[in-house]
Structure 1
Amino acid sequence: MRYVPLTVLTACAVATPAFATQYLSPEQTQKLMFPEADAFRSQQVSLDAAQMRQVEQLAGLPARSVQWRVVGAYKGDALLGYMVLDDVVGKFELISYAVGVNPDASVRQVEILSYRESHGSEIRLPAWRRQFVGKSARSGELRIGAGINNISGATLSCTHITDGVRRIAAVAQVALGR
C-alpha cells in the first residue's frame, strides 16, 4: 500500500474545475454592435441622486452604480448609439456582457463577453439574446415571463442578465436618451 499525505488528499478533494470563457473583447463587441461606425468614444456617465431614483423607478431594481462604462458609436458626427458594459453574478461567478443602445434608449443588441459558470451558457444563443432587441425600460417587456423567455438550466443567468439589461435600459433612458 502506498502512503499519500493527508494534505495531498485534502487538496484533491476540494479542487474544482474552473470554467471561464472569454468570447469577445469590448473592442470586438463595439465593432460587432455598430459595424457602420467609424469612431468610438468612451464616455464618463455618472448618475446623480435624482437620476439614481429615476433608474430605480424605471427598472424596478436598485440602480446599483453611479458610474457606468459607456462607449458612444459615431459615423462622422452622427451618434449611432452606445455600448454599455456591465457584469452580473450568474449563479456564483460574474458574467460580463454589453448592451448596445440606440439613441432613443431602446436595446439594439446584447452580447455576452465572458461567461465563467459551469452551466447556463445557453444565454449566448443568438435566439435568446434577440428577445431584447427593440425593447426599452418603459416597455415593461424586459422581464422573464413578460417579453423574455427563460432557459431551463440557466434560470439564474437568464434572470440576472435580464435584470441587468433592464437596468441599463433605464440608465440609457435617464442619462443617454434624447
Structure 2
Amino acid sequence: MRALGLFTALVVLTAVEGQARLLLTQKQALDLAFPAGTAVERKTAYLTDEQVREAEALAKAKVESKVWTYYATASSGAAGGWAYFDRVVVRTMPATVMGAVAPDGTLRFLEVLTFDEPDDYKSSPRWLAQLKGRALDKDLRVGGVLRNQTGATLTSASFAESARRMLAVHAVLRKAAP
C-alpha cells in the first residue's frame, strides 16, 4: 500500500513538472495588446523560403517555422497593431512570448505567457520594459540597447532574439501586404 502511495505521488509530481507553467492565457495577453471592444482578426501567414531568409537576415536569428499565426486590428481603416506569438527554448525548457507591434513597426511590449524554467531564470518586469518602443535594428540585443539580467542571461538572450524574430517576420509580412 505504501509503495502504491509513493508511486502515485511520483506520477503526480512528474505530470506536474511536465506541464508548462501558464503565466498568462492567450486571451489575457491579447486583451493587453488591444483595447476592449476592438475588432481583432486572427490571421495565418505562410512564409516562402525567400521570406524566411529575409526575416532571418533582418533578425539575425533562425526562423524555425514558415507558418505564423498572428492577430491584427485596424482603427478607422488604418492599421492599429499586431500581436505575434513565439516559442523559444531558454536553457532546456520552452517559453511562449507575445510581442505587440505598433503601427510604426516598433515593439509595444513583450509578454511572457508560459515559462518552464525555474523562477530564478524569469525576466523581471523591469528587464522586459527595456523592449518597449524598440525598433528592429542591430542594437536590439543584450549588450546593445538591452542590459543583461544577472541570473537570467539565457532568458535575456532568448527573449531579445524572439523580439527580433517577431519584428522581422512582421516587417517581411508588411512588405508583402497589398
CA contact (8 A) 1:135 1:142 kept: yes
**What residue number does 2:132 align with?**
133
Q: Which residue of 2 aligns with 1:142?
A: 140
* Aligned amino acid, residue 148 of structure 1: L
Q: CA deviation at 1:73?
A: 2.4
C-alpha change, 1:20 and 1:65, in structure 2 (3 Å) is closer
Alignment partners' CA distance in 2, 1:121 and 1:78:
39
- CA drift at 1:117: 1.0
Contact 1:43 1:69 in 2 (8 A): yes
**How big is the alpha-carbon RMSD for the aligned residues of Structure 1 and Structure 2?**
2.5
**Cα contact 2:115–2:122 (8 A) shared by 1:** no
Counting only pairs closer than 5 Å after superposition, residues 109-128 of structure 1 correspond to structure 2 as: 109-123=109-123, 125-128=124-127
The residue correspondences of 1:151-170 to structure 2 (distance < 5 A) are 151-170=149-168
Q: Go from structure 1 to structure 2 and tell me whether the alpha carbon gap of 1:32 and 1:42 turns closer, same or farther (over 3 Å shift).
A: same
Please say if residues 72 and 81 of structure 1, whose CA atoms lie closer than 8 Å, have aligned partners that are also in contact: yes
Distance 1:77 1:102, change over 3 A: same
* SS of residue in 2 equivalent to 1:83: strand
Taking structure 1 as the reference length, the TM-score comes to 0.82
Structure 1 counterpart of 2:93, one-letter code: E
Pairwise CA distance, 1:106: 1.1
Answer yes or no: is 1:21 the counterpart of 2:21. yes
Aligned length: 168
Where does structure 1 lack aligned partners over 5 or more consecutive residues?
A: none
Q: Secondary structure at the match of 1:128?
A: helix
CA contact (8 A) 1:99 1:165 kept: yes
The one-letter code of the counterpart of 2:101 is V
Superposed displacement of residue 37, structure 1: 5.6
Superposed displacement of residue 74, structure 1: 3.1
Q: Secondary structure at the match of 2:165?
A: helix
- Tell me the CA shift for residue 96 of structure 1: 0.8
Structure of higher CA gyration radius:
1
Whole-Å separation in 2 of the counterparts to 1:63 and 1:84: 13
More helix by share: 2
Task: Return the letter of the residue paired with 1:174.
Answer: V
Which residues of structure 2 form unaligned runs of 5+? Answer: none
With the length of structure 2 as denominator, give the TM-score of the two structures.
0.82
Q: Residue in 2 aligned with 1:102?
A: 102
